[in-house]
A and B are shown apart, each in its own frame.
Chain A
Amino acid sequence: MANHGYTGKILRLDMTHRKATAIETAPYRRWGGGHGMGASLFWDFCKDKTITDGRHPANVCCVMTSPLCGTIVPSAGGRCEVVGVGVGQYPISWFTRSSFGGRFSTMLKYAGWDGIVIEGRADSPVWIDIRDGHVIFHDAENLWGKDTWATQLDIRKLLRIKGGTKTHWQDLQALALSEKDESRGEDFGRTTQKPAILCIGPAGENQTCHAALIHDAGNGAGQGGFGAVWGSKNLKAISVLGTGGIKAHDPKALLQARMITKEKYVTSWETPDFGAWTRLGRLPNPIIQVPPPTSERRPQSCQGCINGCRARYNVGYGNESACQETSWYGPFVRKVAKTSAENTEINLKAADIVQRYGFNSFVFQTGLHWLEHLYEDGVLGPGRKIPSHLPWETIGTLDFAEKLVQALSTRTDIGADMADGWVQAALKWGREEDLHTGALQFSYWGVPEHGYDPRAELEWGYGSLMGDRDTNTHCFNYIFTNVSAAFAFGKPLRIRAEELVNLHAKKLSPYAKGRPEVLDYSDANMYSEAVAQIVRWQQHYCRFYKNSALYCDLKWPDFINTNLPDLEGATASPDAGEHVFWNAVTGDTLTFEDGIEIGRRIWNLDNAIWVLQGRHRDMVHFAPYIYKTKYNKGELFPFYMWPCRDDKGQWRYTDLMGRSMDKDKFEEWKTTFYRLEGWDTKTGWPKRSTLEKMDMGFVADALQAAGRLGEEES
């Protein structure tokens, strides 16, 4: 079988015996790539799927590419998926996922590998050196203790990579090799590229729940605590240099679809529409959350992206950081910054700090407010119930940011209690009440609310809870941001509510095609079968197209697009839809719906692993504050606008703030969701009949052997 899009090999790293072997990709081809392939590899290679902490030696961590990585597929060529059991969630650290961008997945493909399976635990720190087919284990004692940037620079020095920005041809064989390496003398390629390095910093070495994997300056796999997983395996870094290429099945079709994307879906350079309602079709713009430090900057993006979301600045800080890490400290910085420029500088340097420590700043989004609250209430601080010698009175300064991240990365000060999870720390400190009042807004699975509150943004909240982590899936939330911004500015709406939901419904095949009511998040519809269908669609779409084919979450799906007269975005389109690119690269003949079905299969495999880990529907619930308190209307933003039907059935943009969730009704919604998925409604466990229809009888067998197979309805 031709390996169009695939390299045909997956690298298996046995950390315990420091041994690298290759396994065939072909048996895993049915799972697509990325998450699906990684979950299947985890299923095969993890010998104990009941583990509930990713630092357990039995854990298997897979770093996976997709067939589209390293190609010109728009906003899909540069993502990389990481799967395995995570660290720091509550009550169980699930089999989970994270992803990062940049050029690592591309380079891995160029080196001839579709992914990496990491097993076991080395007896001392190592880093892995991959050059095409050659894989070398190096001692990492001299790298241990270094931050992620220093680690990457040191590895470049160890490899004798020439510095600077000038292009140099480098022969891979001439680079430094281990004395034990047996492949010396074999044929190596040559390249002008620098190695792509994925590594951990102090947070990972100390195996804290906040630990991320970092690549280059600012690409990070944050959620899931995979940095701690690597730390537990004594794996400091993986460096890869590849000199090969990727065969596309139909290069002409691939190029044609790419050109259609540019010419049809993306806003014109000559007459740019900066306020366009589209995800794919916007112009490149760094999504840093403060005003840029300078106009002297270069756009920076992942491999193959058509609208890069990061930048490099001539001021030398904030490079490649974007989104959450550039805003985690913002509410505190403005308490001390004298000017907007100083505000930007502290925020971007705080972003650099978390990148260097390999620290996932997402926990701070709501968590740092909680810590400040404990300090201001006299609970946390020197000599207080929760002892801390951090200079809390200086919160907002750069010095405090570094001290805080350092403590939480090294298990010192409050970091000692927080290393295993924030909810775990709250319980240890006797602060359970904070989960009831909302002082600690960690909404699901011991992770923070994202900024799209479950009481308003239903697909985000419900999807996170039915899954394994904060979903961080931006399929629909742009509706809220676009519409709310239009209301805030008093500007005309680009698309009326009824037209907007109808445009979406055209593309929500198969479960919700032609059913605009799935987007009706009104009080009357929020626990409906329709909303269950939108959650299913999102989970299945994402498990294949985003997490496995690795289309960028910030650009896909493109449901609506005001750059086009008919307002229809690229998603599912016959000229430049997701499946069109997939088929051009792989030679498959998937329909858009086929991709959703693969996603459903992957989702079911994930759920089976969660069930083996101990999941039961009784533990699937939000933090108490979601049921007990109302989403505080008007306090943090004036409104949360969303298309809803009124009591006469008319579609209007409606404010969703000011409500809580009804626990009993949500339990009924769960039953509906389980029924639609073909899972046992009493337990949430998969049923044999459902699994066998997807050719997953082997999963049913394993669940049955564990006594955790769902009961068939009589």
Chain B
Amino acid sequence: MSCQLSLPDEGLSRKILGRVSYKDRLPAGRLKPPVGIIPGDVRSLPELDQFLSPDAASLPGINLKALSEWIGGVIGDRELADSVQKIVNASVSYVDDCVKIYEVVGYRLDQARKIVKETM
């Protein structure tokens, strides 16, 4: 998948790599047969990246509409939020959406890490 996101500035990059407060967390469960749906949450995009990492034994559980709002409103990355929303709007399947979002989030994290490293 080719991701087209403009390079974030240093301030946004730090937000992208940062962690939000507990009250701003986003609920995120996981379906793990035979254990069931395990509760959890995410508090950062690096954590979201781990959470969405494809895994043959389980499925991530997350409200994708709320995810877009959380990325835009809480993390503060409007461009990434729009990108996620576009994926959801063109949904093929929930899992397919998760894989695409995983890729775009990973791409965004790479961008942010590069920027932060360059400015160190």
Query: Which residues of A are interface residues toward B (Cβ below 8 A)?
Result: 287-291, 323-324, 327, 330-331, 334-335, 337, 340, 343, 365-366, 369, 373, 376-377, 441, 450-453, 474, 477-478, 481, 484-485, 487-491, 554, 632, 634-638
Which residues from chain A contact B58 at a C-beta distance below 8 Å? 289
* A453 and B57 within 8 A (CB): no
* B29 and A635 within 8 A (CB): yes
Distance to closest chain A CB from B55 (angstroms): 6
The one of A290, A335, A481 in contact with B33, judged by C-beta atoms closer than 8 angstroms, is A481
Which residues from chain B contact A481 at a C-beta distance below 8 Å? 31, 33-34
Distance to closest chain A CB from B19 (angstroms): 8
- Do A335 and B43 form a contact, CB below 8 Å, given A485-B31, A636-B28? yes
Residue of B nearest to A474 (CB): B34
Distance to closest chain B CB from A210 (angstroms): 18
* A637 and B93 within 8 A (CB): no
The answer to the question of B5 belonging to the interface, with a C-beta cut-off of 8 Å to chain A, is no
The one of B23, B34, B53 in contact with A323, judged by C-beta atoms closer than 8 angstroms, is B34
A487 to B95, CA, bound (A): 9
The one of B38, B44, B63, B95 in contact with A327, judged by C-beta atoms closer than 8 angstroms, is B38
Additional pairs, 12, CB under 8 Å, beyond known A290-B55, A481-B31, A637-B37 = A289-B35, A291-B55, A327-B30, A331-B38, A340-B50, A373-B22, A441-B39, A474-B34, A481-B33, A490-B96, A635-B66, A636-B61
* A289 and B57 within 8 A (CB): yes
User: Interface range on chain B: under 10, 10 to 19, 20 to 34, or 35 or more?
Assistant: 35 or more
* A369 and B57 within 8 A (CB): no
The answer to the question of B27 belonging to the interface, with a C-beta cut-off of 8 Å to chain A, is yes
* A453 and B94 within 8 A (CB): no
* A-B contact number at CB 8 A: 113
* B35 and A343 within 8 A (CB): no
10 residue pairs of the A-B complex, CB under 8 angstroms, read: A323-B34, A340-B50, A369-B40, A376-B23, A481-B34, A485-B59, A488-B93, A488-B94, A635-B27, A636-B40
- Do A452 and B28 form a contact, CB below 8 Å, given A488-B93, A638-B61? no
* B22 and A376 within 8 A (CB): yes
* A490 and B94 within 8 A (CB): yes
Which residues from chain B contact A365 at a C-beta distance below 8 Å? 35, 38-39
* A337 and B50 within 8 A (CB): yes
Distance to closest chain A CB from B92 (angstroms): 6
* B31 and A637 within 8 A (CB): yes
Nearest 4 CB-CB pairings of A with B: A451-B36, A636-B29, A490-B93, A331-B40
* B92 and A330 within 8 A (CB): no
Classify the interface of chain B: helix, strand, loop or mixed: mixed
A323 to B28, CA, bound (A): 19
Distance to closest chain B CB from A141 (angstroms): 38
Which residues from chain B contact A488 at a C-beta distance below 8 Å? 59, 93-95
Which residues from chain B contact A638 at a C-beta distance below 8 Å? 61-64, 94
* B27 and A335 within 8 A (CB): no
The one of B40, B62, B95 in contact with A330, judged by C-beta atoms closer than 8 angstroms, is B40
* A324 and B35 within 8 A (CB): yes
A704 to B50, CA, bound (A): 60
Which residues from chain B contact A632 at a C-beta distance below 8 Å? 27
* B38 and A451 within 8 A (CB): yes
Which residues from chain B contact A490 at a C-beta distance below 8 Å? 92-96
* A289 and B32 within 8 A (CB): yes
A377 to B44, CA, bound (A): 19
* B29 and A637 within 8 A (CB): yes
* A451 and B37 within 8 A (CB): yes
A450 to B56, CA, bound (A): 21
Identify which of A291, A327, A488 gathers the most chain B CB atoms within 10 Å of its CB.
Answer: A488
* B95 and A489 within 8 A (CB): yes
Distance to closest chain B CB from A572 (angstroms): 22
Which residues from chain B contact A327 at a C-beta distance below 8 Å? 30, 32, 35, 38
A343 to B94, CA, bound (A): 24
A414 to B29, CA, bound (A): 26
Residue of A nearest to B32 (CB): A289
Residue of B nearest to A344 (CB): B55
Which residues from chain A contact B57 at a C-beta distance below 8 Å? 287-291
A481 to B92, CA, bound (A): 20
A484 to B63, CA, bound (A): 15
* A487 and B94 within 8 A (CB): yes
Which residues from chain A contact B30 at a C-beta distance below 8 Å? 327, 330-331
* A478 and B33 within 8 A (CB): yes
Distance to closest chain A CB from B32 (angstroms): 5
* A453 and B37 within 8 A (CB): yes
A485 to B30, CA, bound (A): 12
Residue of B nearest to A485 (CB): B59
Distance to closest chain A CB from B120 (angstroms): 18
Which residues from chain B contact A450 at a C-beta distance below 8 Å? 35-36
A324 to B29, CA, bound (A): 15
Residue of B nearest to A279 (CB): B34
The answer to the question of B41 belonging to the interface, with a C-beta cut-off of 8 Å to chain A, is yes
Distance to closest chain A CB from B62 (angstroms): 8
A481 to B37, CA, bound (A): 10
Distance to closest chain A CB from B117 (angstroms): 15
A270 to B30, CA, bound (A): 32
Query: Contact flags (1/0) for B42-60 with A, using CB distance below 8 Å?
Result: 1110010011010111110
The one of B27, B51, B66 in contact with A334, judged by C-beta atoms closer than 8 angstroms, is B51
Which residues from chain B contact A485 at a C-beta distance below 8 Å? 31, 59
Distance to closest chain B CB from A136 (angstroms): 39
